[in-house]
Amino acid sequence: MNIDQLRSELLERISTTDQPREVLKAEEIKQLYAVIPTLDPSERGPHGKAVNELKLALESAVAEREAALEDDAIMPLDVTAPWDVNTRAPHLLPTEQGTQHPLTRELENVIDIFTRMGFEAIESRQIDDDEHMFGSLNFPENHPARDGYDTFRTEEGFIPPAHTSTMQNRILKDGKAKLEAGGQIAAVSYGRVFRNEDVDATHEHTFYQCEGVFVSRDATLGNMLGTLRSFFEVYYGQKLKIKTQPAYFPFVEPGLEFAIEKPAALGGKPGEWLEMLGCGMIHPNVLKSAGIDPTVYRGFAWGGGIERLVMLKYGIEDLRHFESAKLQFLRKFA
């Protein structure tokens, strides 16, 4: 093998190994030195020069490769890292990979429970229109009930939804054929919602909701209460006392607020009720706006915040922790 061939082979080896310095000890290099005494004196000069050049090229390739390996070992570039990536990482994260955010994990848990109960899960939209936010949900134009869902609006008139109920009309329309084939609609939609709120320990402008929609020929309010009770008992892993009280939402009739008694195991006292969500029998106008005949089919719907569920489960006292990116908080869920 001539020196040029050898050079490209060794450079290739250096660029692919984690131990580049070892390549300098290659047998082929030793051979280049070993042959010197056997060469004709006139060849020794040029040979020696070529060997030297080879050595210098290999050494600089080794140094470059070592520097690159060291950079990789420090860490890949992470623009979200809460420290200067050029200094060695303090041991801030719970694991090298990080972990799921507690809200993501709990939302998956919630969806899992409903999926096992036979509900299909659909992510809600983060930008929607007036018809889905209000019109199809039986909010008349200029009705004061719209004020309860004060959210934001883009210049083009699009709306970051104030609740996951914006998905109801789509779920109903998509499920109509199933109903007419003798089946039922059973879906939950989940996702981020937005409200024009002053932020404090119990209010955020951005939060998560999960909504359920069920329609069949004979759905009853009792079916809804049973469904919700089962969900909460599975989620909190214990028997619960529940109660409802009348509430007004334009898209249900009757409308209810659903409360559970705060379990003793989670620091509750008897008679301490927590309102968990809004619910009710789907208003005939909402069924009609999806082309479903309310004289034949009936349904129920509910919707509530995810943060509230999680705060109760883990005794979190301030909603703002969730979006704070505080590692001290997040590490508790690692």
**Which positions lie near ligand PHE, rule CB under 6 A?**
163, 165, 211, 249, 252, 255, 278-280, 301-303
Q: Is it true that the peptide bond before 144 is cis, omega within 30 degrees of 0?
A: no
Give the residue among 196, 186, 206 at the shortest CA–CA distance from 322.
206
Q: Report which DSSP code applies to 126.
A: S
Residue 138 · residue 285 · CB < 8 Å: yes
Nearer to ligand PHE, 61 or 224 (CB): 224
Q: Strand pairing of 252-261 and 273-282?
A: antiparallel
Long-range contacts made by residues 62-65, C-beta under 8 angstroms, separation at least 24? Answer: 62/14, 62/20, 62/21, 62/23, 62/24, 65/14, 65/15, 65/17, 65/20
Nearer to ligand PHE, 82 or 140 (CB): 140
CB of 123 to ligand PHE, least distance (A): 16
As given in the structure block, the two tokens for residue 303 are 């919707």
CB of 246 to ligand PHE, least distance (A): 12
Question: Within 10 Å of residue 65's Cβ, how many Cβ atoms?
Answer: 20
CB of 321 to ligand PHE, least distance (A): 22
CB of 209 to ligand PHE, least distance (A): 6
SS3 203: strand
Looking up tokens 């969730």, which residue turns up? 322
CB of 212 to ligand PHE, least distance (A): 8
CB of 239 to ligand PHE, least distance (A): 25
Q: What span, in angstroms and rounded, lies between the C-alpha atoms of 51 and 53?
A: 5
Nearer to ligand PHE, 163 or 308 (CB): 163
CB of 300 to ligand PHE, least distance (A): 8
Give the residue among 309, 275, 259 at the shortest CA–CA distance from 111.
309
Q: Report which DSSP code applies to 229.
A: H
Residue 268 · residue 262 · CB < 8 Å: yes
Nearer to ligand PHE, 14 or 119 (CB): 119
Nearer to ligand PHE, 163 or 298 (CB): 163
Q: What span, in angstroms and rounded, lies between the C-alpha atoms of 205 and 160?
A: 11
CB of 211 to ligand PHE, least distance (A): 6
Nearer to ligand PHE, 132 or 163 (CB): 163
